[in-house]
């Protein structure tokens, strides 16, 4: 999926509360600030969507390992030409300012759910779902760009999470659901998570 130029809203599911997640946002703030100061990990080219981040939905006990697309070129490429995603994998598009960022399915080989989120008060790593476009299908072969449908949120967002089609409905993710962005656990040589 890549960002496009116009859009249409779609899909609505369920609402969750912010509640105790503000505490979690404060706890992860140091990671976000350090990552901004240090830049991407040395093994990660900033022009390639970089792995090593998790989008957690703590209210739903779900974590999605994501590649982050935070530059214009990685956002334009998106998941176009990407290998199929695993059940708990996705791509997180990050934007500097809130907006109604439209997306399309150019170059896509598999259907996805698009989940727009906005940074919540309490920290940029605490996100709230504002819109879901469920089960977005691949465009037919040969579709000209001018004929491709676009998908946009009903209200401004700072992030878009793309996951396999059906993921949002299967896991009860809809407007109001809370997510936290944090670094993925680092694995030691035996494959165990280290602190």
Rg of the chain's alpha carbons, rounded to an integer? 16
CB 92 within 8 A of CB 161: yes
How far CA 188 is from CA of 50, 55, 64, in Å, comes to 20, 21, 20
Query: What integer is the mean pLDDT of 146-164?
Result: 96
CA distance 112 to 163: 6
Say yes or no to pLDDT of 146 above 90.
yes
CB 182 within 8 A of CB 64: no
pTM of the predicted structure, to 2 decimals: 0.74
| Per-residue pLDDT tens digits for 50-105 | 678 999 999 999 999 999 998 888 898 899 989 999 999 999 999 989 999 999 99
Binned at pLDDT 50, 70 and 90, residue 19 comes out as very low
Say yes or no to pLDDT of 18 above 70.
no
| Domains defined along the chain, listed by start | 2-184 (2.60.120.1140)
Q: Is pLDDT larger for residue 32 or for residue 76?
A: 76
């Amino acid at each position: 999926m890549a960002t496009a130029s116009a859009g249409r809203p779609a899909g609505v599911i369920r609402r969750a509360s912010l509640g105790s997640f503000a505490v979690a946002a404060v706890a992860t703030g140091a990671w976000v600030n350090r990552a901004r100061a240090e830049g991407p990990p040395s093994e990660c080219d900033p022009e390639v969507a970089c792995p090593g981040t998790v989008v957690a939905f703590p209210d739903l006990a779900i974590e999605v390992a994501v590649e982050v697309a935070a530059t214009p070129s990685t956002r334009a490429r998106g998941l176009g030409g990407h290998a199929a995603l695993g059940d708990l994998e996705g791509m997180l598009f990050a934007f500097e300012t809130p907006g109604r960022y439209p997306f399309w399915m150019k170059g896509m080989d598999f259907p996805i759910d698009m989940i727009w989120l906005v940074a919540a008060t309490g920290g940029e790593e605490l996100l709230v779902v504002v819109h879901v476009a469920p089960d977005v299908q691949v465009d037919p072969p040969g579709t000209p760009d001018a004929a491709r449908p676009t998908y946009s949120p009903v209200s401004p967002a700072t992030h878009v999470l793309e996951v396999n089609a059906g993921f949002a409905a299967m896991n009860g993710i809809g407007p109001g659901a809370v997510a936290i962005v944090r670094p993925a656990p680092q694995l030691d040589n035996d494959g165990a998570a280290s602190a």
